[in-house]
Amino acid sequence: MLSTFEHIALTVGELTFDVTVGGPADGDAVLLLHGYPESAASWLSVAEILNDAGLRTYAPNQRGYSRGARPTGVESYTIDHLVADVVGILDTLGLGTVHLVGHDWGAVVAWFVAARHPGRVRSLTAVSIPHPAAFNWALREDADQQARSSYIQFLRTEGKAEHVLLRDDAQRLRAVFGDVVPPARVDEHVSLLTEPGALTGALNWYRAMTKEFENTPAVTVPTTYVWSTEDMALGRAGAERCGEFVDAPYEFVVLDGATHWIPEQRPDALADAIRTRTGTTPN
């Protein structure tokens, strides 16, 4: 059965987020946080499976990605603001607790939300990015991770990164997806990021990074971490250290042969991991 999705505008303070909602109204809530350079559309295939299993999904285009949530200035994209957005979304939706899922940058935000607001998170499924303390350890100590993360400095270069990524019909931006993400979905992501101010907002997540990431507390909620062996950006060292920063039931799921784009390349396997963590079986 295919899900019927509803697209809503959700106002949180001075910002308005575009949110894709699916699944039964009485289903347990799952909040899906996308990464860079994707959008909430990256979750559609996973959400369909979760909805068919009876779960209610909410996938927002996050700060910088939603047209009504693009404040100017790097200081508007610190992790404090990104975490507050998630808590504000939950409050506005009337959700006391949620099963939290994040991929890439969405995983970073999810780790921080779980660490700072464990009472709001029933379970955590983090995809690709390990606990920030594990990732930062690998960035300091592991030559392989240092090489994989060399692109970050380019993305932090204001102006130049936007110019390079958007020229020639955003050829460089499209290229990061390889041949893994369907072209129509790539077009959807790129179309959003070519809107005025959108790519700068997305890149400001990188530009607002601080050493605070190294000191992220351990999470105390049941957690699953999903990592793929062909991820060009995330190596094994940080992935294997992730569990040291979870003081709760923990599972490490390895997807052999999958690339970084897990939600779109391996939606069935990812949905299985999420369902297992939420204790949900297919209908």
Phi, psi torsion values for 124, nearest 5 degrees: -125, 130
Question: Which residue among 34, 131, 189, 260 is the active-site one?
Answer: 260
Tokens of 2: 């295919």
Question: Which residue among 104, 131, 225, 231 is the active-site one?
Answer: 104
Alpha carbon distances (Å) from 2 to 14, 45, 47: 34, 10, 10
Q: Which runs of consecutive H residues, i.e. helices, occur in the chain?
A: 44-52, 79-93, 105-116, 132-141, 143-148, 151-155, 160-175, 183-193, 198-207, 236-241, 262-265, 267-278
Alpha carbon distances (Å) from 278 to 30, 108, 112, 138, 204: 9, 20, 19, 29, 32
Is 77 a residue of the active site?
no
Distance between CA 211 and CA 191 in Å, rounded?
32
Is the bond preceding residue 222 a cis peptide, omega within 30 degrees? no
The dihedral through the CA atoms of 118, 122, 128, 134 has a sign that is: positive
Which of 45, 70, 44, 66 has the alpha carbon at shortest distance from 192? 66
Distance between CA 203 and CA 198 in Å, rounded?
9
Distance between CA 59 and CA 176 in Å, rounded?
22
Tokens of 270: 């990812």
Is 104 a residue of the active site?
yes
Is 151 a residue of the active site?
no
Q: Which residues are catalytic?
A: 104, 206, 260
